[in-house]
Amino acid sequence: MQVKALACELPRTLGLPFSQLSTEDIAREVRSSGLVATISDTTVWRWLNEDAIRPWQHRCWIFPRDPEFASKAGRILDLYARRWKGKPLGPNDFVISADEKTSIQARVRCHCSVPPRPGRPMLVEHEYERGGAWAYLAALDVHRAKLFGRCEAKTGIVPFGRLVTQVMSQSPYRDARRVFWIMDNGSSHRGQRCVDRLQNAYPNLVVVHGPVHASWLNQIEIYFSIVQRKVLTPNDFRCLAEVQQRLLDFQAYYERIATPFEWKFTRRNLRRLLEKLNLHHSQTERWAA
């Protein structure tokens, strides 16, 4: 138990000039502290493995810092459940999730990729020339699995406005009662100016900003992760135009086979998560002190 407790300390609290501990570091510290006379690295690893303690690993995280995090996130979760301000959405209400995937490069490999063979993975040349980059702007109708997207040379208010027009100029959104647009606080669509600009252009459009550092609540990010895995990895394109064509072709292909994401994270889950984060925050403050 004492060895496990030591492994759960930050190295600086032990006076060690490390960023993280290895089993070798822990075994050496245990011996030098006089806790045991001898102990092997393997024994330390076996003890830590019993409780899945792995101090040689780390994961980045961030505390919610938006004072209205719960209420803003709750609005989005309600929309996914087809509710708004305590009332169910009607059949002529739609929910759009939108964002940009920036800096999608065309990496022109110096040699052609080699397809996989039995016992050998696909081979991709390490060296490449940069063929330019796109910003991929996309919007997802979360309840219909309908996709809209476009490639732009850069992000900004004007390019994002073109995406909004692409969606709002066609049926059923043009004549809908309300079209809720879920978006983050990126520079292309943040703040009250964005709300005023879009709602003046489209009176039936309702802007729903998420809290800061909450892109994980935006369903379009799930689609972007699929694009990253299925289209952009490995990044091997002959030119920038091929990147655009691949993105738009995949968008059309995905729309034919897709169904709405099965979103299970509710307000109850959000409340539990925030309670857990508040507990971590208080513990971190004690550790820092």
Across the range 233-254, mean pLDDT stands at: 96
- What is the rounded distance in angstroms from the CA atom of residue 143 to the CA atom of residue 219? 11
Same domain, 15 and 139: no
Same domain, 123 and 46: no
- What is the rounded distance in angstroms from the CA atom of residue 96 to the CA atom of residue 218? 10
Same domain, 177 and 230: yes
Same domain, 132 and 194: yes
**Most confident stretch, 29-38, 62-71, 93-102:** 93-102
Mean pLDDT (the chain, rounded): 93
Same domain, 253 and 153: yes
Confidence bin at 286 (pLDDT 50/70/90): low
Residue 200 belongs to a domain: yes
DSSP per residue, 210-238 = PPTT-GGG-THHHHHHHHHHHTSSS---S
Same domain, 157 and 219: yes
Whether the pLDDT of residue 115 is over 90: the answer is yes
Residue 95 belongs to a domain: yes
Same domain, 41 and 107: no
Whether the pLDDT of residue 63 is over 90: the answer is no
For residue 20, give its domain range: 2-50
Residue 157: how many other CB atoms lie within 10 Å:
13
Residue 55 belongs to a domain: no
Same domain, 104 and 210: yes
Same domain, 28 and 85: no
pLDDT at 108: 94
Residue 115 belongs to a domain: yes
Same domain, 157 and 261: yes
Same domain, 207 and 136: yes
- What is the rounded distance in angstroms from the CA atom of residue 185 to the CA atom of residue 196? 15
Across the range 258-282, mean pLDDT stands at: 88
| Structure tokens given for 228 | 């990253």
Q: Which of 193, 188, 180, 88 is nearest to 142 (CA)?
A: 180
Same domain, 119 and 238: yes
What is the per-residue pLDDT across 173-185, written as a single tens digit (0 to 9) for each? Answer: 999 999 999 999 9
What residues have CB less than 8 Å from 246, skipping those under 6 apart? Answer: 231, 237
Residue 73: how many other CB atoms lie within 10 Å:
22
